[in-house]
């Protein structure tokens, strides 16, 4: 599973980490919002990682 | 001003769909070419279909914010490859697709020369803030070429592609305008 999150969305980042997602890619300054650039983070969770949590 | 369409080893061209199809139908018969190019199932298409596809592509070029070129080797003028830029106008980013179909031109700096022209076009004509691309981890030749052109590895999506019963990683790279500009000072290489 993959999830894309802007770096400023701290609530989403915390949620994904709680569910075991791993930060795989940091697309530097990929977003433009409110007149500045932000990183876009790509998270991944593999099936065996998910199974091992349960 | 620098020539947008001419590098040290290649020049950019706009080929007619007919001649493009004639050349590239051979590349489509090379299964390794497919596997290095993308994650789609390798498909063989007839020359006629390929020509129609290029014709359609030409018609939609400007609506889809897609900017594509063919490349010929300066020595011998043989068509060897292509690249395309897809622009995201909202976030001011371009994605690159690039390839060399002629195997004898692999690993000799032609791709890097094409990429330099590609980045020059992206930053000076399209005026984007960053350029992005993805590749397979089993394509180290491409990785080295992109690093030489100035891209930085930004991460890997683990096990995102299945090949011959095994999962492989996808690699993601990016270059920012300021990084590209810093490379342009001095001798222009």
Taking only the tens place, the pLDDT of each residue in A1-31 is 999 999 999 999 999 999 999 999 999 999 9
Chain A residues with CB inside 8 Å of B131's CB?
none
User: Residue B30: inside a domain, yes or no?
Assistant: yes
Tell me how far apart the alpha carbons of residues B46 and B60 are, in angstroms, rounded to a whole number: 21
The answer to whether residue B49 is domain-embedded is: yes
Q: Do residue A23 and residue B155 have CB atoms under 8 angstroms apart?
A: yes
What is the β-pairing status of strands B79-88 and B152-163? unpaired
Residue B111 inside a domain? The answer is yes
Tell me: the pLDDT tens digits for B9-40?
999 999 999 999 999 999 999 999 999 999 99
Q: Tell me the C-alpha to C-alpha distance, in Å, between residue B160 and each of A3, B137, B183.
A: 13, 10, 32
The question of ipTM being above 0.85 is answered as: yes
Contact A26 B154 (CB under 8 A): yes
- In terms of Cβ atoms closer than 10 Å to its own Cβ (0-12, 13-18, 19+), residue B133 is buried
- Within-domain flag for B1: no
How many structural domains does chain B have?
A: 1
User: Token pair of B95, please?
Assistant: 């994605």
pTM of the model: 0.93
Write the CATH number for B58: 3.40.630.30
Domain boundaries, chain A: 2-53
Strands A22-33 vs A2-6: parallel, antiparallel or unpaired: unpaired
Is residue B189, in this structure, part of any structural domain at all?
no
Distance (Å, whole) CA B28 – CA B142 = 19
pLDDT at B1: 80
What distance in Å separates the CA atoms of residue B125 and residue B103, rounded to the nearest whole number? 30
Domain residue limits at B86: 10-184
**Catalytic: B146?**
yes
CB nearest to B155's CB, from A29, A31, A42: A42
| Burial grade of B167 (CB within 10 A; 0-12, 13-18, 19 or more) | exposed
Three-state secondary structure call for residue B76: coil
């Amino acid at each position: 599973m993959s999830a894309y999150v802007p770096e400023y969305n701290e609530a989403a980042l915390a949620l994904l980490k709680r569910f075991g997602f791993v930060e795989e890619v940091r697309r530097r300054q990929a977003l433009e919002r409110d007149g500045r650039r932000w990183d876009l983070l790509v998270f991944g969770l593999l099936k065996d990682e998910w199974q091992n949590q349960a | 001003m620098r020539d947008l369409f001419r590098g040290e080893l290649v020049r950019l061209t706009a080929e007619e769909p007919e001649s493009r199809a004639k050349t590239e139908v051979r590349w489509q018969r090379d299964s390794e070419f497919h596997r290095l190019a993308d994650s789609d199932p390798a498909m063989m298409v007839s020359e006629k279909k390929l020509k129609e596809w290029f014709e359609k592509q030409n018609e939609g070029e400007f609506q889809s914010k897609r900017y594509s070129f063919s490349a010929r080797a300066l020595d011998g003028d043989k068509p060897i490859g292509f690249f395309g830029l897809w622009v995201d106008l909202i976030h001011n980013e371009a994605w690159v697709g690039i390839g060399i179909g002629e195997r004898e031109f692999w690993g000799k700096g032609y791709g890097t020369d094409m990429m330099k022209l590609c980045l020059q076009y992206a930053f000076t004509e399209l005026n984007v803030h960053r350029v992005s691309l993805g590749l397979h981890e089993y394509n180290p030749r491409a990785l080295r070429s992109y690093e030489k052109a100035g891209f930085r590895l930004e991460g890997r999506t683990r096990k995102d592609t299945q090949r011959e019963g095994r999962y492989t990683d996808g690699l993601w790279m990016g270059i920012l305008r300021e990084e590209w500009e810093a490379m342009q000072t001095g001798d222009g290489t």
